[in-house]
Structure 1
Amino acid sequence: MNILVYSGDGTSRTSLIHTVNSLRSLVGQHYDVMKIDAQGLLTEPWEESTSLLVMPGGRDLPYTRDLNGPANDKIRKYVHSGGKFFGICAGAYFGSDRISFQPGTPLEVLGQRELKFFQGECRGTVYPGFEYESEGGARAVRIQFNRDIFAQDRLGFDVATVYFNGGGYFVNAEQVPGTEILAWYENESGQIDAHVTGAKAAMIACQVGQGLAVLTGAHPEYDATHLDPGNPEYGPQPNVVTRLLEKESERRIWLRSVLIKMGLKVSQLESAIGRSSSTIIPPGAIQGVPTISPLYLASIEPSLTTELTRTLSGLTNDEGQIQEQNDTFQLVSSPQHPIPIHTPTTIETEGGDEEEKVTKNIVICPTAPPPSTLTPEFNMSVFFQHLQLVRQRIDHPFNNNFNFGNSLMYGHVVTSTQTMLDRNFELCQQLPDGFVCNATIQVSGRGRGRNSWISPPGCLQFSMVLRHPVRTTHASAVFVQYLVALAAVESVCSLPGYEDLPLRLKWPNDIYAEAPLEHPSQTQAAMTKDCQQYVPRMVKIGGVLVNSNFSGSEFLLVIGCGVNATNPNPTTSINHLIRYHNKVTGKNLAVFSQETLLANILVKFEELHKLFLGGNGRGFAQMEDMYYKRWLHSDAIVTLTTMVPHKRVRIKGVTLDYGLLRTVAVDDQGRDIVGEEYRLQPDGNSFDMLKGLISLKA
């Protein structure tokens, strides 16, 4: 699921960076935190895959200009249907019924707003001195929590100090139906509306249909460790930043509690309760994001490791480092040698985010895979043993020529297996065909379009180097993504006893499963209103990404795959499906480990790829029946939105030349229109490709 942060015109760049970084640090192991602009909110089907929509600080007027009308209609419907909205400062003004900002001054903004999540007025600024594009009006303000709401969290404190710059308060919030006050500004001299008795509401939660909108005038997302206390606009010492740093731990814990109240799953956070109030978290420290770990390199035979080590050594400088386009790697000659500690550096990306870079250690294991004490979450010896065992079961002339997975590089915590291979082209060119990089945790995994693959515990994630010949007219490289997804499903469902597991393929590159119905009430809820026929709920459990480059007479492909494999409930994973299948059938099918599933997938994919390239030039035609048996789309009707008027078409299959979606037009009764056929391609959509959004091939 995604968390979307609005990044359109009017958004404060600083607020956007703090919002994205704080969310990624607290919930990034469970959600994909992505930016989205006005066009994306209006045109993309983001609603069903989004757990939270965030409107950060900035300017309210550009928000109204770009989102009023159809985009706001989508936002309202999303929240009414059970979605969550988080409006911060300008986002809180925007989410209220009406706004009163700096009346009687040159900055005055008054008027009604469309979303109306808070059925009242947001009035500001609470403190004087606000200036656009300046820290001159910034303050460190004390926020008093609602003890009744946060009592269960046992925070150990009921006041936090947070950044403030131009925010409002929610007038008479205690009298507005459906509104709970989560926190108040502590009463101080100099606040707006001094005649108002009692504390002013700083953060509220509004029940909106089945959904929830949390609005805040202050900025709980601002991380003081990323602010510059030397900026003179913050005032003389002790200034705004130094006061925020004194209470930074409490701010983090409170924001975490707010996200929990919104129904989000959060990362484990080391408790700061009981620490000295003067504790300052070092700049750049992000709680909840694990530290990058060493990469261990081993092979199924020591001779392959020796050869690969020789190749990698040829790429190093005098310090034994491989300095590549995206990453720097330090070679460590064996697990017995000390592993260097490298100082991370922070760079700013093109999108305005801050990204931490650190040299990655590659520990060579020359004679045998590392002991399991060094890689407790993935036993490389067990993987190689199972790889050999599965290969021996293949009844085919080329079963002695299998290479995929012969060399493996594993890290417990990595940035992204895909990025380390795809964005370091010189290194990738030197790696052997079928080289695999896998990890237990990815902190910045990459997916199709703008998506990232988020790695919850138990997700099998790997990337592989594949050399695919260019001059194979019967075997277009576009089919590789289909073969990998098919291999992931067939590596399980082709095993005796596992044939009925409900794993499915979604074109072009996703893996789905029928979600188990754990309770009888779920069965009733899954019935259609008209005919009370059971309709299975399909959930995504995996995906495939293929990046390609030319290298001589071949494509140098980097294949990325992530599959929910051993995840515990409530996540739907392959092992979850197996346990549920055993429960309802009385069988005792064995579950998979990360090692056994990876080996199964690699062998099945290599088998399919060899057939694809050979097979007397028949290409994907050899796998058609197998593919259609597993996919979701037979005879499904979708809407072709790139035609005016829109055209409804029925999916018939994929073309055997370039893997396009083959469809035929249907009339108002859903009957095929003979002769009116269309070939379709993905539109690059980042959310749900087949939700009425496919493109006619130009």
Structure 2
Amino acid sequence: MNVLVYSGEGTSRISLAHTVRSLRSLVGQHYDVMKIDAKGLLTEPWEESTALLVIPGGRDIPYTKDLNGAINQKIQAYVQGGGRFCGICAGAYFASDHIVFQVGTPIEVQGERELKFFAGECRGVVVPGFVYDSEQGAKAVEIQLDRELLATHKLGFSSTRVYFNGGGCFLDAEKYPGTQVLARYSGRNGEESHGVNAPAIIICQVGNGLALLTGVHLEYDPAHLDSGNPEYGPLPNVVTCLLESERERTSLLRSLLTKLGLKLTHPDAADTSSSMAEQVDTSANGVLPPGAIQGIPDLSSLYLASINSNYTADLTKILKGLATPEGLIKEPNDTFQLIASPQHTVPVHTPTLSEATEGESEEKIIKNLVLCPEQPPAPSLTPYFNMDNYFKHLHSVRGQNKMSSFNNFKFGNSLLYGQVVTSTQTMLDKNFALCQRLPDGFVCNATTQIAGRGRGRNSWISPPGCLQFSMVLRHPVQARHASAVFVQYLVALAVVESVCSLPGYEGVPLKLKWPNDIYAEAPLEENEQEQQQQQQGVLPKMVKIGGVLVNSNFSGSEFLLVIGCGVNTTNPNPTTSINHLIRYHNRVTGKNLALFTQESLLANILVKLEEMYNLFLHGNGTGFAQLEELYYKRWLHSNAFVTLTTMTPHQRVRIQGISLDYGLLRTIAVDDQGRDIPNEEHRLQPDGNSFDMLKGLISTKA
């Protein structure tokens, strides 16, 4: 499931950055926290896979310009049908019935709004001094909480101070049916008369859904505000005041997210013997579980080791050739500090702020890269991934899978592992000079990613128990029979086959969703089994457990591909995992199939991928045709009917398969009775369309 944060015109870059950061730190282990613009809200079939839609602070007028009409109708239908919505400051004005803002000033705004999640008036600003695009009006306002509705009586506080800059209040909110007042302005902030003790945070029942609206900025983390900014005033100022209330702010935000029905999961102490055990500890009422890690974890050291020490020696020469005399490898996206061995002291680096995409600021820190010249690091240094066990699995699986005349195995011979990293994909793909020098089949993997990358510009914090890795692959341009576009299909197929081709595991229900997702039949509880048995013909629920991303750069006579893959191995949340499927399969069949570790699954996937890739590239010259039958055996879409929603009128089509030249999805138009319409074929590109095939929709992108 996704948490979507609106990032279109009018959005405050600061509010957007804080919103994404706070959500990723609190719910990112259960949900993909992603940005979406107006075009995405209009054309993407986002509703079914979204747990929460957030419109952050900014300017209300651009929101009305871009979202009024069809997009607001989609948002209304989503919430009415059981969805969750959060509007912050301008997003709260926008979601009210009507807005009254800064009456009698040059920036006055009045008028009705379309969403009307709050049936009354949102009036502001509550605390004077607001100036657009400035921190001059920023305040640390005090709000009084409804301790029963928020369960904060268990946390020991009834008020707190939070960031405020231009927000409104919800007049007479308690009079409207289905609306609860969760917090009020305290009356000690210098409010305008209409804001004294007025509702500051409300939650509204909207059909089967909920809308949380707040005039204050609970998403703002004062640790990421510049206390030296003169607009905040002399010390002690707004930022220092907010820092004193940080624990209360975080607890309140957790409580509000819990009230919206979101899961708040944090990794707890793990059993290192099981190499990242299943860790799911959802706290109730916003209270952190004992021993939980609050927020986004700090980055850890990276460890480089190989299946053969000679490979590490060769890599060491390459890396030292890229480094400065101080041992720094300075790349466009990252800087790495080479450490000669695990026995050497690992330095502590200070983060620096740099400008990121869309004007957001982000922290950068030098990443320590520890070389392991003789053998993998001790398990105590990498408690959630045993690198020595991984290489042993890799050697064992290769011994069981002879490749006849193909080249020797190389995928996964060298491994760069970090317990907590930004993104394995970014560290390879965005540091091109380094990536160019890495050997074919070089793998980078991590236990936790705090900025994992997906299709488009999506990013998230990865949940515990998810195997995530990226691999360098050099694909020859001249291999015209083997287009690089098929690599994403091969990787997804390799994930499924690495499990389902094993003796006894054939019935584990893993499937492929075109073009690059891994799905599974969700295990049924006992009551669900009885219900399904009573309802003949009921199809099993399919849920996503993994995905593939391939980035490509052209270098000389080859494509330099960075293959990213993530698949949930051990964690039954937020959907299901491979091990959860195996346990369920064992229960219903009476088998005793062994579960996977991260180490064994990675080894299996890499060996299976290398076998398939070599067949694809060096087989009989027919490329993907050699694997086409196996691919169709595993995918979900044979003869499925879908609707091309961006055609006018919408066109119903039947999926035929994948073209063997460029990997396009082949479909043929059908009439109202589902009969093929001759000579009306549509071919769709993997990266040019948005898909909700399980719902029967395809949106072709412009």
Aligned to 2:287: none
Query: More displaced, 687-696 or 449-458?
Result: 687-696
Task: Give unmatched runs, 5+ long, in structure 1.
Answer: 271-285
| Aligned residue identity for 2:329 | I
Aligned to 2:284: none
**CA distance in 1: counterparts of 2:402 and 2:181, whole angstroms:** 67
Tell me the CA shift for residue 150 of structure 1: 2.5
Identity level (%): 70
Which one of the candidate residues 189, 212, 215 is aligned to 1:214? Answer: 212
With over 3 angstroms needed to count, the CA separation of the structure-2 counterparts of 1:405 and 1:124, relative to structure 1, is same
* TM-superposition CA deviations, 1:138-162 (whole Å, max 9, x none): 3221111111122367222111101
Tell me the CA shift for residue 332 of structure 1: 1.1
Matches within 5 A, 1:36-75: 36-75=36-75
Does the 8 A contact of 1:451 with 1:686 survive in 2?
no
Which one of the candidate residues 606, 609, 613 is aligned to 1:605? Answer: 609
Aligned to 2:539: 535
**CA distance in 2: counterparts of 1:551 and 1:269, whole angstroms:** 40
Does the 8 A contact of 1:682 with 1:694 survive in 2?
no
**CA distance in 2: counterparts of 1:188 and 1:317, whole angstroms:** 57
With over 3 angstroms needed to count, the CA separation of the structure-2 counterparts of 1:693 and 1:683, relative to structure 1, is farther
Tell me the CA shift for residue 692 of structure 1: 2.6
Matched, 1:513 2:520: yes
Matches within 5 A, 1:359-398: 359-398=366-405
Matches within 5 A, 1:537-686: 537-569=541-573, 571-682=575-686, 684-685=688-689
Query: More displaced, 570-579 or 597-606?
Result: 570-579
Matched, 1:339 2:343: no
Task: Give unmatched runs, 5+ long, in structure 2.
Answer: 269-292
With over 3 angstroms needed to count, the CA separation of the structure-2 counterparts of 1:128 and 1:585, relative to structure 1, is same
Tell me the CA shift for residue 617 of structure 1: 0.7
Matched, 1:4 2:4: yes
Matched, 1:415 2:422: yes
Does the 8 A contact of 2:143 with 2:183 survive in 1?
yes
**CA distance in 1: counterparts of 2:533 and 2:16, whole angstroms:** 39
Instruction: Give the secondary structure class of the aligned counterpart of 1:314.
Output: helix
| Aligned residue identity for 2:332 | Q
Instruction: Give the secondary structure class of the aligned counterpart of 1:617.
Output: coil
**What is the aligned residue count?**
677
**CA distance in 1: counterparts of 2:18 and 2:452, whole angstroms:** 20
TM-score after normalising by structure 1: 0.92
Matches within 5 A, 1:204-353: 204-268=202-266, 288-353=295-360
**CA distance in 2: counterparts of 1:46 and 1:288, whole angstroms:** 27
| Aligned residue identity for 1:312 | L
CA RMSD of aligned residues (A): 2.4
Matched, 1:87 2:87: yes
| Aligned residue identity for 2:616 | F
Aligned to 1:273: none
Aligned to 2:361: 354
Aligned to 1:491: 498
Aligned to 1:692: 697
Which one of the candidate residues 488, 506, 529 is aligned to 1:481? Answer: 488
**CA distance in 2: counterparts of 1:628 and 1:688, whole angstroms:** 18
Tell me the CA shift for residue 185 of structure 1: 1.0
With over 3 angstroms needed to count, the CA separation of the structure-2 counterparts of 1:476 and 1:153, relative to structure 1, is farther
Matches within 5 A, 1:113-192: 113-151=113-151, 154-188=154-188, 190-192=190-192
Tell me the CA shift for residue 551 of structure 1: 2.4
Query: More displaced, 516-525 or 540-549?
Result: 516-525
**CA distance in 1: counterparts of 2:134 and 2:342, whole angstroms:** 51
Does the 8 A contact of 1:449 with 1:686 survive in 2?
no
**CA distance in 1: counterparts of 2:538 and 2:345, whole angstroms:** 59
Does the 8 A contact of 2:690 with 2:700 survive in 1?
no
Query: More displaced, 613-622 or 587-596?
Result: 613-622
**CA distance in 2: counterparts of 1:569 and 1:644, whole angstroms:** 39
With over 3 angstroms needed to count, the CA separation of the structure-2 counterparts of 1:311 and 1:525, relative to structure 1, is same
Aligned to 1:466: 473
With over 3 angstroms needed to count, the CA separation of the structure-2 counterparts of 1:373 and 1:398, relative to structure 1, is farther
Tell me the CA shift for residue 403 of structure 1: 1.2
Does the 8 A contact of 1:683 with 1:689 survive in 2?
no
Query: More displaced, 69-78 or 248-257?
Result: 248-257
Does the 8 A contact of 1:683 with 1:693 survive in 2?
no
Tell me the CA shift for residue 27 of structure 1: 2.4
Does the 8 A contact of 2:532 with 2:538 survive in 1?
no
**CA distance in 2: counterparts of 1:269 and 1:619, whole angstroms:** 43
Tell me the CA shift for residue 522 of structure 1: 6.9
Query: More displaced, 389-398 or 609-618?
Result: 389-398
TM-score after normalising by structure 2: 0.92
Query: More displaced, 415-424 or 643-652?
Result: 643-652
